[in-house]
Amino acid sequence: MFITQFFEDYAVGYVRETLGRTITETDIVVHAGQTGDFYPHHMDAEWCKTQEFKQRIAHGTLIFSVAVGMTAGAINPEAFSYGYDRLRFIKPVFIGDTIRVRVTIKEKHDHKKPTHGVVSELVEVFNQHNETVLACEHLLLVRRKNL
C-alpha cells in the first residue's frame, strides 16, 4: 500500500499501533544464524537456568528488527529512513512473549537540505504485560510539499 505524506502532513502527537507478534525459538535460532551471535544467553537453555532470567532471551537486535518490520505497513515515496537514535533494550523478551509496537510522531525540524525536513518518531515496543521492552527514535527524511 502506498500513502503519500510530505513533511507538512506529519502531525506531532499522531500515534499508530501494530497488532501483536509472538517471538518463537525459530526466530531466535534464525537470527543467531544470520548474525553469528550464538551467545549462551540466546542459545543455551541449561546455562540460562543458572542466570538471572532463568531462561533464554531474544537478541535485542532481533526485537528491534521485528519491531521495525511490524511498523512498515505503508510505503511513502516522499520519505525514507534517516536512521535510529537512542536505542535501548529495556527488558528482556523471552520465547513465547508477544510484542506490539506504538509509534508516536515526536517532533519535526528542518534539515540542511531545504527541500526536506526531519520527522522524529518515538518507537516503543511492549510485551504482553504492557511493559516497555525496547525504545528508540526513528528519523525520517521527508520531502517538503511546497518546494
Is residue 74 very low, low, confident or very high in pLDDT (cuts 50, 70, 90)?
confident
Instruction: Tell me what pLDDT residue 83 has.
Output: 97
3-state secondary structure 3-43: CCCCHHHCCCCCEEECCCEECCHHHHHHHHHHHCCCCHHHH
Instruction: Tell me what pLDDT residue 33 has.
Output: 97
If one counts every other C-beta atom within 10 angstroms of the C-beta of residue 7, the result is: 24
Alpha helices by DSSP H, listed for 18-145, are 25-35, 40-43, 45-48, 60-71
Instruction: Tell me what pLDDT residue 146 has.
Output: 77
Q: Is the residue at 119 inside a domain?
A: yes
> Which residues constitute the domain of residue 87?
13-143
* 98-138 pLDDT tens trace: 999 999 999 999 999 999 999 999 999 999 999 999 999 99
* 47-69 pLDDT tens trace: 999 999 999 999 999 999 999 99
Q: Is the residue at 2 inside a domain?
A: no
* Cell matching residue 56: 533464554
Euclidean distance between CA atoms 34 and 24, whole angstroms: 16
Do residues 42 and 58 lie in contact, with contact meaning Cβ atoms separated by under 8 Å? Answer: yes
Q: Give the total number of structural domains in the chain.
A: 1
- Torsion sign over Cα 109, 112, 113, 115: positive
Q: Is the residue at 85 inside a domain?
A: yes
Q: Is the residue at 94 inside a domain?
A: yes
Which CATH number fits the domain that encloses residue 124? 3.10.129.10
Question: Out of 75-79, 106-110, 132-136, 140-144, which region has the weakest mean confidence (pLDDT)?
Answer: 75-79
Q: Is the residue at 8 inside a domain?
A: no
